[in-house]
Amino acid sequence: MTTPVTTAALALGDDALVLSHRLGEWAGHAPVLEEEVALANIALDLLGQARVLLSLVGDEDELAYLREEREFRNLQLVEQPNGDFAHTVVRQLFFSVHQHLLHRRLATGGGPFAPLAAKAVKEVAYHRDHAERWTLRLGDGTEESHRRMRRACAALWRFTAEPFRPVEGVEVDWEALEAEWLEAVTGTLVRATLTVPEGPRSLDWAAGAGRQGIHTEPFGRMLAEMQHLHRSHPGASW
């Protein structure tokens, strides 16, 4: 039975699950060893959040590994490919600022997600700080790192409106959340000597699409990889 709580848990849980997998793809490929550990830790934090949220909906393994693409409710932002390291940093900045601001509200709202949010907000504060520090380091770094950060911002900007479309079961002031996000992200980009992209923050055909089960092309390939082992050996156990 679908309720507002399960609808919200599925959306937020899918966000965390999908981004966790994307960050996990950096294993063995991060630019430095320290970043290998940092990205793995962020991925594990997100995976833990996803497990708690998906458990509110049903069997977490079935939800992660046996659903079809159109049944996932994650934001299109989190499913975007890693690209180069600058692209990953910008994706993380856009999402972690949103998640941090959202969890701060949920933690004090007294609703069904308050206990999870109260714990997760501490983790997400680190995710946000990590992304902000790398944004400053790369944006105000070499000419090449600056160029790549600008390119990443321009590519991902169109996905930044969807996180603020209301989700049934999440009782927050979405307009205020979006305004605070825009102020925070703009401030970080300016400090990093980057400019806020001029393009629209959503496309008409894509606005809210991830929440409706409509995803971008890279998501299907990512999902096939994520689900391959479980589907190849159904019922297997360690």
DSSP string, 51-94: HHHHHTTS-HHHHHHS--GGG----HHHHS---SHHHHHHHHHH
Return the C-alpha torsion angle 104, 109, 112, 113, nearest 10: 0
- Digit-coded pLDDT (tens) for 19-70: 999 999 998 888 887 888 999 999 999 999 999 999 999 999 999 999 999 9
Tens of pLDDT, residues 101-142: 999 999 998 899 999 999 999 999 999 999 999 999 999 999
Superfamily of domain 4-232: Ferritin, core subunit, four-helix bundle (1.20.1260.10)
Q: What is the pLDDT of residues 59-107, one digit of tens each?
A: 999 999 999 999 999 999 999 999 999 999 999 999 999 999 999 999 9
**19-45 residues labelled b (16+ CB within 10 A) or e (exposed):** bbbbbbbbeeebeeeebeebbeebbeb
Could you state, in order of their start, the residue ranges of all structural domains in the chain? 4-232
What are the residues whose beta carbons fall under 8 Å from the beta carbon of 109, sequence distance 6 or more?
117, 171, 172
Tokens linked to 118: 């109260």
Q: 208 to each of 52, 82, 91, 94, 140, how far by Cα in Å?
A: 24, 21, 17, 16, 33
The predicted model scores a pTM of 0.94
